[in-house]
Structure 1
Amino acid sequence: MPSIGWVLLFFLAVLPALATSGAHGDSKPAFRCHPDQAATLLQLKKSFSLLRYPNSLESWQDGTDCYFWEGVGCSNSSGHVTSLKLSGLYSPGLDPAIFNLTSLQRLDLSMNSFGQYSLPASGFERLSLLTHLNLSNSGLFGQIPIGIGRLASLISLDLSTYYDTIPEDYLYGQFDYVYNSLWLEKPNFQILVANLDNLRELYLDGVSMSNSREDWCDALAKSLPSLQVLSLGSCQLDGPICLSLSTVHSLTVINLQDNFYGSSTPFPEFFMDFLNLSVLNLAQTNLQGWFPRRTFQSKTLRVLDVSWNQYLSGHVPNFSNASSLETMMLEWTNLSFVKPDPFSNFKCLKALSLDAHFVSMEPQSSLGIPRSLQDLKLSQMNSNSDLGPTLSWIGDLENLLSLELSGHGWVFSQTSLSSVDNLKSLRSLSVSGCNFTRPVLFGNLVGLKSLEISYCSFNGPIPSALKKRSNIG
């Protein structure tokens, strides 16, 4: 009891001091975010203009704790900024103030607009703790600086710019290279990846690698043996794809679309042995010759795209586990099926693109296309083909959301039109290069949001009920 009395007396003695300290206006709250880091962020904020409202920068207010600012992540122990994610902003170039945030581990400035200004030639090397760097679709321009190649802790690097990889003039044999806003010359690709031993994900879509077009895969196999995601679409690479890439068997995603225009490229058969492969995209890569009559060994393959390789012949391959496949793109190829029921095991197939020659003139019940299909594209290079009977099976695809029919002179009969009109769930319909022998109906497509009919001839007018549909954009 005496001890309790002494504690009570001590509390009564210090109580006035505690009350006084809380009343002074010059007292400052304890912030979790380091003040120097907050000052740097506020300096960075001044370099940006808002492209959309609301925006994360609205929470960046002087005198508040940057620990709670949107897009900012801080260390609980040190108060230093460890992650920064901003989007929807405009700035005339990347402000060098960002390189003062040397504690950054994750930096994501994707989906901003830096006004076609060049990446800073120096500064990235200061961000030595970075594990994830994403500058994709940011409007940056010019040579990729060597400093990025010195970030030895990088696990994921994304400098990509996405393009529509199939130009409108493709049908007429006129090819135009996409505009590459970033490029690798000095340093080239080999120098960039030489020290990135920890890299697991590499996205350089749209980056010009013309100076490395012939030895890119040797450099990749040598420097990035544990790479899991490789995406080099529209990089102006040249082929063939060298055998050394077969040593990078850890790859799960391979995207090399829209490359290899300068030389014919045989299908890289060793990709079929990658056990963990989930995505293989070789669309528009000038593949020629025969597709190997083998089985994909991966049991987790979800996406196979070899479309727009019109000189690729042979049979569609087998799969160790066809039920895992969700997307298969085979349009504009000379591939064909061996089995009469090619889709019977594709229980999860959601997206499918085919040439018209895949679809026989016989009743289509043998195709076994699963009703889970949501996206279907049918293309045709030959003219004056009556596809009326072959499209009757489309009406059974009750979950179809998107349908695209394109070709040269397809003739749509009443049978084919009525089958399309049965698709109550359809949201998008695109028809081009076709002849309609009956008036266009599509009146039952109550869920349709997008309708495109181009380069088609009609027998009769478009129904007024369809033209008045306000929900179609």
Structure 2
Amino acid sequence: MGSLMWFSQILCLSFMLLQFRVQSSSPSQSSLNSSPHLCRPEERSALLDFKSTTKLGEYCFDTPRPILQTWNESKDCCLWEGIACDKRNGHVIGLDLSGNCLEANLTTNSSLFRLEKLQSLNLSDNYFHYPNISFGFNRWKSLTYLNLSGLTYLNLSGSEYMYGSLPFDEIFLLSKLVSLDLSDNYGLLLDNIKFQMLVHNLTELRFLILDFMDMSLVVPSSLLNLTSSLEHLSFSDCNLQGIPNRVFQLPSLQVLDLSSNPYLGDLQNNRLTEPIDHVEMPNLILQEVYLSNNDMSGSIPSFFFDLVRLASVDLSSNNLTGTITRDMLSKLVNLEDLDLSNNSLLSLSNNGSVVNYSFLPSLQSLTFSSCNIHKFPGFLRKAEKLRELDISNNKISGQIHKWEIEGMSSLHYLNLSYNFLTGIDLFGFGNLSTVDLRSNLLQGSPPILSTTWYSMQQLFISGNNLTGEIPSSYCNLTSLEVLDLANNSLGGKIPECLGNLSNLLFLDLRMNKFHGRIPNSFVIPNYISSLLTLSLNGNQLEGILPRSLVNCRYLELLDVGNNNLNDTFPHWLGVLPSLQVLILRSNRFHGAINDSMPASHFPQLRIVDVAQNNFMGLLPSNYFKILKGMRDVAPVDVEWEYSDNYTACLRDGHCHKIYKESVKVVMKGSERELVRILRTFTTIDFSSNQFHGPIPDKLGELNALLLLNLSHNSLNGQIPSSLGKLAELESLDLSSNKLEGRIPEQLTKLTFLSVLNLSHNELVGHIPEGKQFSTFSNDSYIGNSGLCGFPLTKKCGEPRPPSSQFDEEDDSTTVFEWKFALAGYGCGLVLGLSLGYIAFTIGKPWWCNQVRLISYFRADLATVAS
């Protein structure tokens, strides 16, 4: 996914260069602004009319530039932002409104069409009402640059999204167009007839970008007529049904992006008119090729290795096979970026030849993740310009010695995660900013780092077999933002000096053997910490929570579960405005939870787990009342993650999404790890403590709550009917308490409830029927001798068995065991397991390299259960 990010960056850069080139034939805007000619009154009037019918879109997520505020009747319109004029006659020839989140009409009578001398137009990333009539593009006879990418069409009321169709008949008659970008207009169909019109009329095109348009009806042979002047051709994610091999021979082509077209198939046979290896390609100037995510199979065509001008190649996420040898790659003397990742049957070999120290002299980035590499590529040892190396998720074993990588003097990003390495010598490297060694077999002490690693920002060594203590040299990494040492066997005390790392955002020391107190120096005196995440779960820490954590004003996640901490409830953390996850489970926290906290406390808290402690007293009714983050149900289309991917960006702009936060929660009676935490996931777990008294009615006001666990306490009274208001609830556990009375009929309104446990209480009467209650088994009610009706064998109206029989039954089930069957999974399973954003990976690697936005929905597993 990281490669897709820099694809977009390359495209953006290309367009910036293009706009410069297009306008270079005309006067620059700076020179135009000094022109003695004022803009023409009729054109100023047209622009002001457009402004009067335009407003800021209500769907904006980022604050747009107030570009239209510079449009004022008292000024020369040539001085307005986004406007370029011809200095000879004052005509408006350039209009750039891109990325301003503007909402406007663009109908035939739009005032913009009165700018008849327009040469360059960029309306990308705005909102336009979609008309059912023609536009007016045919009036712009001089237009050479047109960017309509990323438009969002609204219906005429402006209240709903809709998909429509651009006026292709008019756009494709603009014969002077040099650059055309219609990308990111999702759902728009470009059929074969319209495409033939494009290639027939737009013969001057140098840049053509149609990404994410539906071109499934375009006949592959129609691409044979593409103009020979094309320099940049991008048909990414267009559902192309094939690609003629002669497209690779376009004489001026420098950039070719055909990524994410899964029907291209086998480059050698299936979707090409002839085997591409047999095509002559003399002196091609092709510099960039992107063919990722195409399900291509077979070996890489040999012609790729003859394209000596190539600077960037991406063939990732296909089904390519074969062996790439050093000799094959050595022909690409201009190659800067190579991505062959996620081709599991593709391997890399030195071919038994002597190392050539001039090999790939221009190489800056090599990504060979998830292939079939068994040995570290030794021919890279003198790749002096190499900045990024990713050979993660392969089969490299043993130790990597210093001499194998010491020649990579410019290396900034090194990813060797998910291999079988037992050791690596990194001492002496001074330019590394990211080192990822997760999920290997590293043994002994953590790698010793140079004290000169001032540029180090991310260090990942989790999921290994490391022992000993954290080296003191780690405290010298003053630029460090992420330190991940989780899932090892490290011991000793957590160094106090880690508090000196003022840029630290994520500290993950989970599942180790650290003992002693949590350092009170995580926060530098008189300094507000940048810390976002502190994960110390699964160690042997003791004492109290350091009160200095209250200075971590940006803290979002605090996980100190499964330690030996002995403290009272940290109500003082309520002042942290961003705290969303608080895990205290399985410690020795004790006492009552303050029920008189200010209403402003814990404004964002969505996950609170205090299970398996020694808390006592009444459940804090007012505390539940102030949890604003659990009261607001997220809209159906909201898919924001609680924790963003942590992105590592190098100085050259290349970025890698490499970090995911995770916590453990109890679901269906088992502790499991959430690798990603959604903003929509909310849970309260107060189980296995010494709470007594009634269940507060206030819990029924937490409309967004998904999981509620109050089991294994001494709660009494009746189950409040207000719990029937928890419309989003998917799991309810009130087992092993002293609850009495009937099960409220209101609980049948919980249509997403997939897990219910009311066992081992003193409930009586008829079990409610219908909806989700028809899916629950006997285990949901066992240990309530007064209950009757389905699914129990006891019919309502039968005499109550002797009390001694009840006591015997209760004694036999003192040890709680949750045995819910799949039949209880009806309408919703917590966190939509079918999308895989919950990974049940206790004790296993937990990072994922995925896009930022993920889908969340409730999966109906009733069929599977049956």
| Counterpart residue identity of residue 460, structure 1 | L
Q: Within 5 A, what are the aligned runs for 1:336-351?
A: 336-337=348-349, 338=351, 339=353, 341=355, 344-351=358-365
CA–CA distance in structure 2, aligned partners of residues 390 and 233 of structure 1: 41
Which consecutive segments of 4 or more residues in structure 1 shift more than 6 A? 419-423
What's 2:474 paired with?
443
CA–CA distance in structure 1, aligned partners of residues 319 and 401 of structure 2: 22
Maintained 8 Å contact 1:273/1:297: no
What's 2:100 paired with?
89
Q: Within 5 A, what are the aligned runs for 1:290-439?
A: 290-293=299-302, 296-316=305-325, 318=328, 322-333=332-343, 334-337=346-349, 338=351, 339=353, 341=355, 344-355=358-369, 360-361=374-375, 366-380=379-393, 386=397, 388-389=399-400, 393=404, 397-407=408-418, 410-414=439-443, 418=447, 424=453, 429=458, 435-438=463-466
What's 2:74 paired with?
63
What SS does structure 2 have at the residue aligned with 1:314? Answer: strand
The 1:69–1:54 alpha-carbon spacing in structure 2 relative to 1, beyond 3 Å, is same
What's 1:49 paired with?
56
Q: Residue 159 of structure 1: CA displacement?
A: 1.8
Maintained 8 Å contact 2:374/2:394: no
What's 1:171 paired with?
none
CA–CA distance in structure 2, aligned partners of residues 319 and 285 of structure 1: 22
The one of 284, 306, 309 equivalent to 2:293 is 284
2:500 paired with 1:460: no
The one of 239, 247, 259 equivalent to 1:236 is 239
Maintained 8 Å contact 1:436/1:458: yes
What SS does structure 2 have at the residue aligned with 1:313? Answer: strand
CA–CA distance in structure 2, aligned partners of residues 376 and 397 of structure 1: 10
Maintained 8 Å contact 1:354/1:379: yes
The 1:220–1:260 alpha-carbon spacing in structure 2 relative to 1, beyond 3 Å, is same
CA–CA distance in structure 1, aligned partners of residues 457 and 167 of structure 2: 43
For normalisation by structure 2, the TM-score amounts to: 0.43
What's 2:164 paired with?
142
| Counterpart residue identity of residue 84, structure 1 | L
What's 1:79 paired with?
90
CA–CA distance in structure 1, aligned partners of residues 86 and 113 of structure 2: 18
CA–CA distance in structure 1, aligned partners of residues 477 and 398 of structure 2: 25
Provide the alpha-carbon RMSD of the alignment: 3.9
CA–CA distance in structure 1, aligned partners of residues 444 and 490 of structure 2: 16
Residues 187-233 of structure 1 deviation map (CA, whole Å, 9 limit, x = unaligned): 64333333111111111112221222xx24x2232142321211111
The 1:315–1:54 alpha-carbon spacing in structure 2 relative to 1, beyond 3 Å, is closer
Q: Residue 152 of structure 1: CA displacement?
A: 0.8
CA–CA distance in structure 1, aligned partners of residues 63 and 287 of structure 2: 36
| Counterpart residue identity of residue 45, structure 2 | A
What SS does structure 2 have at the residue aligned with 1:205? Answer: coil
CA–CA distance in structure 2, aligned partners of residues 203 and 451 of structure 1: 37
Unmatched 5+ residue regions in structure 1? 1-29, 162-178
Q: Within 5 A, what are the aligned runs for 1:236-255?
A: 236-239=239-242, 241-255=243-257
Residues 137-182 of structure 1 deviation map (CA, whole Å, 9 limit, x = unaligned): 3435532322211111111111223xxxxxxxxxxxxxxxxx9343
What SS does structure 2 have at the residue aligned with 1:133? Answer: strand
| Counterpart residue identity of residue 158, structure 1 | D
CA–CA distance in structure 2, aligned partners of residues 104 and 419 of structure 1: 62
Residues 59-112 of structure 1 deviation map (CA, whole Å, 9 limit, x = unaligned): 2211210111122111122211101112331223453322221211011223x3
What's 1:101 paired with?
115
Q: Residue 295 of structure 1: CA displacement?
A: 6.4
The one of 178, 198, 208 equivalent to 1:202 is 208
What is the identity percentage for the equivalent residue pairs of Structure 1 and Structure 2? 26
Larger Rg: 2
The one of 198, 219, 225 equivalent to 1:222 is 225
The 1:304–1:73 alpha-carbon spacing in structure 2 relative to 1, beyond 3 Å, is same
Residues 351-409 of structure 1 deviation map (CA, whole Å, 9 limit, x = unaligned): 110137675547x6543352322222223256xx6464379845764433334445478
Residues 339-360 of structure 1 deviation map (CA, whole Å, 9 limit, x = unaligned): 5647842222221101376755
Residues 218-277 of structure 1 deviation map (CA, whole Å, 9 limit, x = unaligned): 2232142321211111111123x3234255232111111111347433384459655201
The 1:271–1:343 alpha-carbon spacing in structure 2 relative to 1, beyond 3 Å, is farther
What's 1:471 paired with?
503
Maintained 8 Å contact 2:310/2:335: yes
| Counterpart residue identity of residue 287, structure 2 | S
CA–CA distance in structure 2, aligned partners of residues 459 and 121 of structure 1: 69
Maintained 8 Å contact 1:331/1:379: no
CA–CA distance in structure 1, aligned partners of residues 455 and 444 of structure 2: 18
CA–CA distance in structure 2, aligned partners of residues 116 and 376 of structure 1: 46
The 1:293–1:248 alpha-carbon spacing in structure 2 relative to 1, beyond 3 Å, is closer
How many equivalent residue pairs? 418
Q: Residue 54 of structure 1: CA displacement?
A: 5.0
CA–CA distance in structure 2, aligned partners of residues 287 and 359 of structure 1: 20
What's 1:127 paired with?
140
What's 2:670 paired with?
none
2:182 paired with 1:159: yes
The 1:391–1:259 alpha-carbon spacing in structure 2 relative to 1, beyond 3 Å, is farther
| Counterpart residue identity of residue 251, structure 1 | L
CA–CA distance in structure 2, aligned partners of residues 156 and 313 of structure 1: 38
The 1:391–1:133 alpha-carbon spacing in structure 2 relative to 1, beyond 3 Å, is farther
CA–CA distance in structure 1, aligned partners of residues 86 and 95 of structure 2: 12
| Counterpart residue identity of residue 336, structure 1 | L
Q: Residue 418 of structure 1: CA displacement?
A: 2.4
| Counterpart residue identity of residue 302, structure 1 | A
| Counterpart residue identity of residue 333, structure 2 | S
2:216 paired with 1:184: no
CA–CA distance in structure 1, aligned partners of residues 48 and 456 of structure 2: 45
| Counterpart residue identity of residue 435, structure 1 | G
The 1:357–1:257 alpha-carbon spacing in structure 2 relative to 1, beyond 3 Å, is closer
2:260 paired with 1:258: yes
Maintained 8 Å contact 1:256/1:281: yes
Q: Residue 329 of structure 1: CA displacement?
A: 0.8
What SS does structure 2 have at the residue aligned with 1:318? Answer: helix
The 1:122–1:87 alpha-carbon spacing in structure 2 relative to 1, beyond 3 Å, is closer
Unmatched 5+ residue regions in structure 2? 1-35, 154-162, 269-274, 421-438, 506-866
Maintained 8 Å contact 1:322/1:346: yes
Q: Residue 287 of structure 1: CA displacement?
A: 1.9
Q: Residue 289 of structure 1: CA displacement?
A: 1.3
Q: Residue 35 of structure 1: CA displacement?
A: 0.8
Q: Residue 133 of structure 1: CA displacement?
A: 0.8
The 1:238–1:116 alpha-carbon spacing in structure 2 relative to 1, beyond 3 Å, is farther
The 1:211–1:313 alpha-carbon spacing in structure 2 relative to 1, beyond 3 Å, is same
